[in-house]
Homo-oligomer: A and B are copies of this chain.
């Protein structure tokens, strides 16, 4: 089932009960998934206006300009929205490691496949 939100050209973010949408960040150069975060309406507006990825920090309960303390800002090259407009895709040029652990990407561990029942340890991938 499709509707105006899916087929139209109006930007109508579908916020969840906490007023947030999911933001997926990938690296323009490598294509790698760097991080997943959340945005409220203000974070979206600031990001679009400044071109620097700004999220809503659920732990801190406030707007969070990525890199505001570390300096590792994410310059947004392109932004897309998905079919039902509850997720955003930010294609970025990162100024440094995206993860607070110092890793280039937050996704630095692999989960084993082909196991039944699902078990087994994570393995480093970055």
Shortest C-beta distance, A7 to chain B (Å), equals 8
List residues of chain B with CB within 8 A of the CB of A125. Answer: 80
Chain A interface, DSSP helix/strand/loop, else mixed: loop
Q: In the complex the two chains form, is A81's CB within 8 Å of B107's CB?
A: yes
Q: A63 within 8 Å of B by Cβ?
A: no
Given A83-B108, A88-B111, A89-B33, A10:B49 Cβ within 8 A: no
| B residues less than 8 Å from A106 (CB atoms) | 82-83, 87
Is the Cβ of B83 less than 8 Å from the Cβ of A116? no
CB distance from A34 to the nearest CB of B (A): 10
CB of B83 within 8 A of CB of A100, answer yes
Q: Using Cβ atoms and an 8 Å threshold, which residues of chain B touch A115?
A: 48-49
Indicate if the CB atoms of B111 and A80 lie closer than 8 Å.
yes
Residue A110 contacts which of B10, B36, B80 (CB distance < 8 angstroms)?
B80
Please indicate the chain B residues that have their CB under 8 angstroms from the CB of A10 in the complex: 121-122
